[in-house]
């Protein structure tokens, strides 16, 4: 099955930037979409962004539009999340997700494969 490994999280002050990476391995040619979700304790996972691997089409959650950018490097089977103008409310565990099927991009149950997560902490 697909394996996803996130990296690049950390701590930053408000207004700063971070870039997350998600490296995929095994059966990567079958991946239709890769996405980033985030979650804080006691809350459901929130969709952040998705990229459709065949054509690069992207969608974003309302809370990150204009600040975050999702991109891909097909040669490296890696997806990135560039996060700019970070706010304390962006603090969360960020998860990479992937699926072989088209579907509703913003719902967590529409993804079969998940990474273990990378913590992002934004201080005010």
Average pLDDT over residues 53-73: 96
pLDDT of 103 reads 83
Residue 26 pLDDT more than 90? no
- 117's torsion region: left (phi>0), alpha (psi -120 to 50) or beta? left
Average pLDDT over residues 90-101: 97
Confirm if 39 and 113 have CB atoms less than 8 A apart: no
Residue 24 pLDDT more than 90? yes
Average pLDDT over residues 42-71: 96
No. of helices (H) and no. of strands (E), the chain: 0, 11
* pLDDT band, residue 3 (cuts 50/70/90): very high
């Amino acid at each position: 099955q697909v394996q996803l490994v996130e990296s690049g999280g950390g701590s930053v002050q408000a207004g700063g930037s971070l870039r997350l990476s998600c490296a995929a391995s095994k059966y990567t040619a079958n991946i239709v979409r890769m996405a980033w979700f985030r979650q804080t304790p006691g809350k459901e996972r929130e969709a952040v962004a998705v990229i459709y691997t065949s054509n690069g089409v992207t969608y974003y959650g309302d809370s990150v539009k204009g600040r975050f950018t999702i991109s891909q490097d097909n040669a490296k089977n890696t997806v990135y999340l560039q996060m700019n103008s970070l706010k304390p409310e962006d603090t969360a565990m960020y998860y990479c997700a992937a699926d072989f099927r088209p579907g509703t991009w913003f719902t967590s149950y529409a993804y079969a494969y998940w990474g273990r997560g990378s913590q992002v902490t934004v201080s005010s």
